Structure 1
Amino acid sequence: MILRCKIYPVNLPRGVSSSYFGRGVGSMKNSIRVAIVGRPNVGKSSLFNKLLGERKAIVHDLPGVTRDRVTGELKWEGAKFLISDTGGYVPGDDPITKGVNQQTSGAIEEADIVLFVVDSKEGLLPFDFEIANTLRKFQKDVIVCVNKVDNERLESMLYEFYSLGYDKLVAVSALHGTGIGTLLDMLKALAGNGEVHVQEVEKIVPKVSIVGRPNVGKSSLLNRIVGSKRVIVSELPGTTRDLIDIKVEYFKKEYIFVDTPGIRKKSKIEEDLERISSLKAIDSIKKSDVALLLIDSTIGVTEQDLKIAGFIDENYKCAIVAINKWDMVKGNKAKEKAILEYTRYKFEFLKYAPIIALSAKTGFGLKALIKSIDNVYAEYSTRIETSRLNKVLGEVVSTHGLARRGRAILKFYYATQVSICPPTIVAFVNYPELIKEHYERFLKNRLRESLGIPFSPIRLIFRKRS
């Protein structure tokens, strides 16, 4: 049975077109199948109508109005979606209820993406958790659509919906159209190039740039790592003019090491060629995953070392501070301890950077270096579950007084990780301008600690929730 009703035009989001096909439509070529599910009366049909821009599904306050599947095509920024409105899951054992639930399960089975609709005004009910558990059995991509978010107070309550156990969550109002654009963007992101399937992921090889002042032993360290003299080594500063990329395999793991020219103070750069080489070294940091900052144990931390570290920090790169020429001090316990403590003190602003001692000459500390690279890169490429992120953020914020200015008090709504390398987190707040540098630094330090990524920089982006 195809539901037929009068069509009332509704304004579509820009770039959307739609057409109606009814129940039982075969798969359209290159279309992504999307099923809308949820318990009765949470606004599934209203969301379906808003997405397609027409009243194709019957909307009524009486739960269970939609029993058969209604399907329509939606186009958004080049991607095609076949949207199915279902009767959702209904409690009960009568024949009609069983039929509705079977239809819903069939729609999910055929779908690539599932929109799980919940009601922000009623909050979470036990049946919502039952549906969430049922959906997990299908192993589909799920977006939790928190519907009826019509005011700021409801937006502030979104945290609880992460307890359903799904990372992808969006606040929408099917009545007013709020959040529909965001939902469409999420669908487009999941659709990729129009095909929802798992593709073979290319093996990622971390790129490690060896940086530092001239003559601290960068080329010697690379030669030690490689096991042969691939790079010219000399006591004369500035021997390395070009970037040297060498792929190395250690214990069946691959790494790309980049030897860079020494970065000198601008006032000491005399030759044009040396100036260009220093710019290449700086550019290498930008393109690397891990910046290995080499310093000289016999000289200690210099002003230029700190400037290079600052550049690494500004570009959100993983950092390892390696104290070279350790063979010159090894055995003098008091001196070893003093150098390590002083180095940590000077690099206090680079808290996430591990500090290791090594000798490019003897090979001491080489295994510790490789292990540190593995650890920092693993954290640098970490993906954090949205539910866990929001739980941790809530705990961190609750233990620290919220920023305020006059009557304006900072409020966090929710946060989501948008990328890796570095872990980049977008937090939606009411007044981004209230977040000052010291408070952002506090959040980063606490988040690194609480999320278990102490060796990775974190990029925080604060956006006003409209």
Structure 2
Amino acid sequence: MSTDDPTQTADPEAVERALRAGLEEFELDDEDRALLDTEGLADEDGEAYSPLPVVAIIGRPNVGKSTLVNRILGRREAVVEDVPGVTRDRVAYDGEWTGRRFTLVDTGGWEIDATGIHLRVAEQAEIAVELADAVMFVVDATVGATDADEAVVKMLRRSGKPVVLVANKVDDQRTEADAAALWNLGLGQPWPVSALHGRGSGDVLDALLEVLPEKSAVTAYARGGPRRVALLGRPNVGKSSMLNKLTGTDRVVVDDVAGTTRDPVDEVVELAGRTWRFVDTAGIRRRVHQTRGADFYASLRTQTALEKAEVAVVLVDASDTIAEQDVRVIQQVIDSGRSLVIAYNKWDLTDEERRHFLEREIERDLVQVPWAPRVNVSARTGRHLEKLVPALDRALESWETRISTGRLNAFLGEVVAAHPHPVRGGKQPRILFATQAGSRPPRFVLFASGFLEAGYRRFVERRLREEFGFEGTPIEISVRVREKRRNRR
């Protein structure tokens, strides 16, 4: 798409043919050609991508869970700390072993007190297990099975989930007898591992893959039926009140104490003459000394709801200052690739002054989502809840939008001609060809002759939104830099 490209004046199909021919001058690999041959539309039949199977790593504090996570990942990513109750910013990791990919969830950071150890350990482990396809249960072989371990074993048996028992801290042959003693737990073979040194880690991963399904059976919903809406937001913004108003029942416990909802509640809702499936999610019930640990599981539940959903309605308390946690929830929706509607709740409790300051906060704190539809509502009174429907429709339509390759390249040709990439180091990278690699959300691949700066990629995204709408959906843009073929003799 050079600025003097004569094909820019032709029809979109002619532009596409000319640019495809021009690509032959560049080095393309098999993946590039497959993408170009199919226009990248791997989900053309409308099937959503299958979520990866989920592995939960559970165990008492300081048994080496995070060290094991780092060993599996092959890099130091999970936080390793001897203090229980540490809430990590990131709880899920992409793992891989012998070509099989999976999501690894580190459930470290349990807050335990002396009086409620059995209940606390079992409760928090149960949540992690509920959201997983398989479990790696880590026990310190040098300490042996404790009462807390026994409590978790009972819960694991009830869950029916496949369990791989990891006997950690077996650093040499002398301590292998300690691992063998864990047969008494009744969970099958204990796998002796040294997460710190890597000893035995390959064997335990082989055992994990034997019981791990190819795709997640926990979060995958069948396609079709009512559109699926995740109701998200920080504690006490009115999620349960909204769901009760939508259903016309007191289906969900409502309390002014943040975090009274423990389990996600799926509800079929009639709204504007149509049926929707709403998933209400919140943090688990908070107890004394357990606040930070609850945030961990609230985040885990939010992620699970997003994997089940197609669109997220994020509730923000309009009567209160926008909080960092509001921004985090919105970012989690964007990262998950789901469409987004922002509902400013408790609108009936705001006056003109508060609304003025709210607009300033939105401009400052939510600058990354100017494309998200906005609805001002009151879950308590039911005001304007019907306005959610057109916003949801716009977001879902954008989420599923496809742009033909010819039209996409004709448009980008005009954009690049008017605003070429800045010259850097004596070179001016240019976009050679573009294709939509998929939808739900829209994913675009740009073939370029050089590295495109982040600012220019944001400019391209902004222009795509101006031309094609994409209201309410994130857009993913990836760039493949390709060099010209060298003359071969």
Cα distance in structure 2, aligned partners of 1:176 and 1:379: 35
| Structure 2 residues not aligned, in runs of 5+ | 48-221, 484-489
Higher relative contact order (CA 8 A, sep 6+): 2
Aligned counterparts, 1:38-437, within 5 A: 163-164=12-13, 171=20, 203=224, 205-262=226-283, 270=291, 272=293, 275-329=296-350, 332-431=351-450, 433=451, 435-437=452-454
- Once the two structures are aligned, what percentage of the paired residues are identical? 29
For structure 1, the residue ranges without an aligned partner over 5 or more in a row are 1-151
CA distance in 1, matches of 2:427, 2:477: 21
> Residue in 2 aligned with 1:462?
479
Determine the C-alpha separation between the residues in 2 that align with 1:191 and 1:425: 10
Which amino acid counterpart does residue 423 of structure 1 have in structure 2? P
Residues 455/394 of structure 1: CA separation in 2 closer, same or farther (3 Å cut): farther
TM value normalised by structure 2: 0.53
Distance (whole Å) between structure 2 residues aligned to residue 191 and residue 237 of structure 1 = 43
Compute the displacement of 1:409 (Å).
0.8
Question: Can you list the C-alpha shifts for 1:272-301, whole angstroms capped at 9, x where unaligned?
Answer: 566324311133235432222212122120
Q: What secondary structure is seen at the aligned counterpart in 1 of 2:368?
A: helix
CA distance in 1, matches of 2:285, 2:410: 45
| Structure (1 or 2) with the larger CA radius of gyration | 1
Partner of 1:405: helix, strand, or coil? coil
2:458 aligned residue: 441
Distance verdict in 2 for CA 1:406–1:245, change over 3 Å: same
Q: 1:352 to 1:270 in 2, by over 3 A?
A: same
Counterpart residue number, 1:112: none
CA deviation after TM superposition for structure 1 residue 251, in Å: 3.9
The count of corresponding residues between Structure 1 and Structure 2 is 306
Please report how far the alpha carbon of residue 400 of structure 1 lies from its aligned counterpart in structure 2 after TM superposition: 2.2
CA distance change for structure 1 residues 423 and 264 in 2, over 3 Å: closer, same or farther?
Answer: farther
CA gap 1:239/1:191 in 2 versus in 1, 3 angstroms: closer
CA separation in 2, counterparts of 1:451 and 1:210?
Answer: 27
1:41-81 CA distance string (max 9 Å, x none): xxxxxxxxxxxxxxxxxxxxxxxxxxxxxxxxxxxxxxxxx
Rounded to whole Å, the distance in 1 between the matches of 2:40 and 2:342 is 39
Which of 460, 465, 468 pairs up with 1:451? Answer: 468
TM-score, L = length of structure 1: 0.56
Q: Tell me, yes or no, if the aligned pair for 2:400 and 2:442 is still in contact at 8 Å.
A: yes
* Alpha-carbon offset, residue 169 of structure 1: 9.2
Aligned-partner Cα distance in 1 for 2:320–2:233:
13
CA distance in structure 2 between the aligned counterparts of 1:197 and 1:284, rounded to whole angstroms: 24
User: SS at the partner of 1:241?
Assistant: coil
Query: Matched residues in 2 for 1:191 and 1:326: separation?
Result: 42
Q: For 1:191 and 1:358, locate their aligned partners in 2 and report how far apart those are by CA, in whole Å.
A: 37
TM-aligned CA distance change 1:164 to 1:349, over 3 Å: closer
Instruction: Tell me the CA shift for residue 227 of structure 1.
Output: 2.0
Q: Secondary structure at the match of 2:316?
A: strand
Q: 1:217-259 deviations in whole A, cap 9, x for unaligned?
A: 1111111122222211111111111222223233453322111
- C-alpha distance in structure 2 between counterparts of 1:239 and 1:264, whole Å: 5
1:138 aligns with none
Confirm or deny: 8 A CA contact 1:215 1:262 kept in the other structure.
Answer: no
Offset at residue 382 of structure 1 (A): 0.7
8 Å CA contact retained: 1:263, 1:278:
no
Is the contact between residue 248 and residue 256 of structure 1 (CA under 8 Å) also seen in structure 2? yes
Please give the alpha-carbon distance, in whole angstroms, between the structure 1 residues aligned to 2:326 and 2:46. Answer: 44
* Distance across 2 between alignment mates of 1:351 and 1:254: 28
Q: Distance in 2 between matches of 1:171 and 1:161?
A: 14
Distance 2:370 2:38 in 1: 38
Distance 1:263 1:339, change over 3 A: farther
Give SS of 1:417's match: strand
> Does the aligned pair in 1 maintain the 2:16–2:410 contact within 8 Å?
no
Contact 1:414 1:428 in 2 (8 A): yes
Alpha-carbon spacing, 1:429–1:232, altered in 2? closer, same or farther (3 Å): same
Cα displacement string for residues 100-125 of structure 1 (whole angstroms, at most 9, x for unaligned residues): xxxxxxxxxxxxxxxxxxxxxxxxxx
Q: Displacement of 1:339 after TM fit?
A: 2.5
Asked if the contact 1:245/1:259 (under 8 Å) is kept, the reply is yes
Structure-2 separation of matches of 1:326 and 1:373: 19
SS of 1:312 mapped into structure 2: helix
Give the SS at the match of 1:306. Answer: helix
